């Protein structure tokens, strides 16, 4: 989680959900301001591996992701699509 290492690895100004999301990742974000690190696989964002920085944003993120409205929404790919929806 080193600032410089994060900045060298960040995917900037790219679709949040590849290949065609109209919402793009930030192009100006600094490594010390990163609150969540997500991984991607061939299916898109992966809910299997992530890092959250402790704080208010992490509390919001987890509350939103586990909110009954997301759990009962019947997303096609369940938690992966819920994660993509929240991130966008």
pTM assigned to the model: 0.74
Q: Looking at residue 52, what is its pLDDT?
A: 93
**Residues 19 and 33: beta-carbon distance below 8 Å:** no
Q: Which domain holds residue 79?
A: 3-87
Q: What is the pLDDT of residues 62-78, one digit of tens each?
A: 998 888 877 777 767 77
Counting the structural domains of the chain, the total is 1
Digit-coded pLDDT (tens) for 25-56: 889 999 999 999 988 887 778 888 889 999 99
Q: Residue 8: its pLDDT value, please? A: 94
Element (H, E) at 40: strand 36-41
Name all contacts of 12-16 with Cβ < 8 Å and 24+ positions apart: 16/45, 16/84, 16/87, 16/88
């Amino acid at each position: 989680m080193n600032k410089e290492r994060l900045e060298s690895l960040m995917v900037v100004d790219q679709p949040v959900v590849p290949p065609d999301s109209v919402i793009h990742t930030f192009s100006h974000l600094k490594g010390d301001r990163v609150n969540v690190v997500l991984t991607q696989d061939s299916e898109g964002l992966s809910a299997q591996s992530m890092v959250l920085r402790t704080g208010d944003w992490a509390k919001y993120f987890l509350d939103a992701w586990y909110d009954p409205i997301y759990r009962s929404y019947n997303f096609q790919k369940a938690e992966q699509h819920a994660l993509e929806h929240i991130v966008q």
